[in-house]
Structure 1
Amino acid sequence: MYSATDPRAALAPAATARSDEPIAPFAAFELQDLPPAEVSARGSRTWYVRGQNFVLAYTRAVAGDRLERTAAQQAHEYVVVVPHDGATVHLDHADVPAAAMTGRGVAIVPAGDSGVALDTEADVVRLFDVRTADLLPRCHNAADYAEPHPRVAPLQAWPDPVDGPKIRCYPNSAYPQAPDRFGRIVRSSAFMVNFGDPKDGPRNPDRLSPHHHDDFEQCSLTVAGDYVHHVRTPWTGKRSQWLPDVHAEVASPAVAIIPPPTEHTSQALGEGTHQLIDIFSPPRADFSARPGWVLNAADYPAPDVAAVHG
């Protein structure tokens, strides 16, 4: 249910899920209200939240700290998201050349020994797929995934990058906003990150965009401003599974895990700048099929979209 000016209006409508499988509840986490899972020797604080197919690590890093992953821990590439301007992240790796990215953007780091360092105090987000098993117990909501959620399609990694492993940086500054695409979308073999365009002021409550996804979770990371997530769980044939509507107000930074096939939309509240970053694992076939939407499509080939769930 998108407005005519929303680029998503061109997408094929999602199928209506018809199943008596249980629907997972919506969950939201205001990170400032939770104790960090880790505090480094320098004082950087990291929170971990997971979905079915991924782990999100949100770090409030101090200047000079380095967030490292060893080859024994990191058998697959991971994604680094810099949510705010004003910092440069330095990305190093034992086997490929180092790289740096200034300002907001997304970087992808190959498997192996690597690190993320900052020259100023800043927030940094890392995304690891579910195969990164050492991080799963650290998640604040680990108990919610003691059993897999039956409505969520499991991770099937997309093809590897075309020119082999290297650190790839996609700063927002290199990709100006465009009205014919939806945010700034970057994908890896296991993730799709949509860096939403910042908005000023509250969202018009009469111009919301409720929609659902048939078989994949959406992780909405709020990095600026206050939001309310409106979520409606469809009825199944089992009255015991019915859930009340949710209108969850969150302040940034916050992580929302939106399960399929709930109807959902997010509404910015109050004055000032608001920004959302949406995260999906695996990548979305419908977004990938739209010409020009995925900024790094030439680096990460898509499989036959007809064979990928959407």
Structure 2
Amino acid sequence: MFDDSDPRKSLSRKPDQSASEAFSGPFCGPEVGHFSQTDPQERGDGWRAWMMRSTNLVVRLVALDGVAEFARHGQRDEYVVFSSDPDLRFSVKTEAGEVVDHPGNHLFIIPPGDSRVRISGKGSVTFLFTTRSADLVARCSNPEVPINPVIPPFQQWPDPVGGYRLRVYDLDVPDTPGRFGRIFRCTTMMVNVLPRFTKPRDTAKVSPHYHASFEQISLTLDGDFEHFLRWPWTPNMSDWREDMHLRCASPSMAVLPPPAIHTTLWVSEETQIVDIFSPPRMDFSLKDDWVLNAADYPRAQTSIE
């Protein structure tokens, strides 16, 4: 259920059907990481990193004041690195492309194989990998998560146009009426870097909705947020779950599970949130001009929902 001002109201929908009619339990709860209140999983000279997983993704959030370098050897699939901090500098070396002393406020898609990412400055950087990287899963604060029966097995999307290579995308993209956020996808995931909000959300214009078969990772980078979740009632009362109200300072991460109805409030003046999906969302991909790098990454031919 979206407010009339929300571009997602235009998404194609299946015939009306309540969540309680469509699903049976038991249901999974959310995974939540309060990074600002917990010790990091990794640290080095001038940097700290929190690592947490969902069903298909590993998130590494790096808080940097200095220089940090991260390498992957024999990486099986693409991964994503991004930061909205323009003063950071990136040098990225891969087997299929390289950038040196590149400014922040960009999103980098790193090809499979060997790669090295060097970052300098002060700010935060997010790395996103699939859970195929078992060594990274083992370092997460939650290396094991419950199996959600409504999430299908991971399916990678088609190879990029022209083959795998280092790709770099500017996050300085102006808002366009009717387009939702700043969405980029690759073969393994979709990232929506939402615009900065400069005042708390209007509580008369929230967006309670649910996803049938995929998780939403909400990564909060600045400001305070509140997530609200409600699960369907089914004929079996033992499957019922209490409503949840999650208060999250930044940085934090919440994995919102299907088929929970959810919506989010930003409750401070300056906020930044990023929504992440793995594999990419089909409904967003079907919208003309929503995926900013769609020309580089063909969409799957059939819905994976």
Does TM, normalized by the shorter one, top 0.5?
yes
Q: How far is the alpha carbon of 1:95 from its aligned partner? A: 4.3
Could you say which residue in structure 2 is the equivalent of 1:300?
Answer: 297
Instruction: Tell which deviates more after alignment, 90-99 or 214-223.
Output: 90-99
Structure 1 position 91 matched with structure 2 position 95: no
Q: How far is the alpha carbon of 1:97 from its aligned partner? A: 2.9
Could you say which residue in structure 1 is the equivalent of 2:304?
Answer: 309
Q: How far is the alpha carbon of 1:266 from its aligned partner? A: 0.5
Structure 1 position 65 matched with structure 2 position 73: no
Q: How far is the alpha carbon of 1:113 from its aligned partner? A: 1.5
Structure 2 letter corresponding to 1:281: S
Structure 2 letter corresponding to 1:112: G
Contact 1:82 1:104 in 2 (8 A): yes
Structure 1 position 276 matched with structure 2 position 273: yes
2: distance between equivalents of 1:240 and 1:296?
45
Contact 1:101 1:169 in 2 (8 A): no
* 1:144 alignment partner, SS class: coil
* 2:145 alignment partner, SS class: helix
Could you say which residue in structure 1 is the equivalent of 2:233?
Answer: 235
Contact 2:65 2:122 in 1 (8 A): yes
- Aligned-residue Cα RMSD (Å) equals 1.6
Could you say which residue in structure 2 is the equivalent of 1:108?
Answer: 109
Judging changes above 3 Å, is the alpha-carbon distance between structure 1 residues 204 and 93 closer, same or farther for their aligned structure 2 residues? same
Could you say which residue in structure 1 is the equivalent of 2:2?
Answer: 2
Q: How far is the alpha carbon of 1:99 from its aligned partner? A: 5.3
Q: How far is the alpha carbon of 1:68 from its aligned partner? A: 1.3
Could you say which residue in structure 1 is the equivalent of 2:139?
Answer: 138
Q: How far is the alpha carbon of 1:16 from its aligned partner? A: 4.4
Q: How far is the alpha carbon of 1:12 from its aligned partner? A: 2.0
Q: How far is the alpha carbon of 1:105 from its aligned partner? A: 3.0
Contact 2:46 2:66 in 1 (8 A): no
Could you say which residue in structure 2 is the equivalent of 1:157?
Answer: 156
1:1-310 to structure 2, matched below 5 A, reads: 1-13=1-13, 16-17=18-19, 18-40=22-44, 42-71=45-74, 74-98=75-99, 101-145=102-146, 148-173=147-172, 175-270=173-268, 272-304=269-301, 307-310=302-305
Structure 2 letter corresponding to 1:31: F
2: distance between equivalents of 1:43 and 1:150?
41
Judging changes above 3 Å, is the alpha-carbon distance between structure 1 residues 188 and 125 closer, same or farther for their aligned structure 2 residues? same
Number of residue pairs the alignment of both structures matches: 301
* 1:98 alignment partner, SS class: strand
Contact 1:191 1:279 in 2 (8 A): yes
Contact 1:63 1:122 in 2 (8 A): no
Contact 1:102 1:171 in 2 (8 A): no
2: distance between equivalents of 1:3 and 1:242?
27
* 2:28 alignment partner, SS class: coil
Contact 1:75 1:132 in 2 (8 A): yes
2: distance between equivalents of 1:109 and 1:99?
14
Judging changes above 3 Å, is the alpha-carbon distance between structure 1 residues 237 and 229 closer, same or farther for their aligned structure 2 residues? same
Contact 2:157 2:299 in 1 (8 A): yes
2: distance between equivalents of 1:102 and 1:236?
51
Contact 2:80 2:127 in 1 (8 A): yes
TM-score, normalised to structure 1, is 0.92
Q: Deviations over 1:188-240 (max 9, x none)?
A: 00100001011111111111010000000000001111010011111223212
Q: How far is the alpha carbon of 1:133 from its aligned partner? A: 1.3
* 2:144 alignment partner, SS class: helix
Contact 2:218 2:275 in 1 (8 A): yes
* 2:138 alignment partner, SS class: helix
Contact 1:96 1:165 in 2 (8 A): no
* 2:155 alignment partner, SS class: coil
Structure 2 letter corresponding to 1:229: H
Q: Deviations over 1:55-106 (max 9, x none)?
A: 11111134222111112xx111101121333212221124433355423232
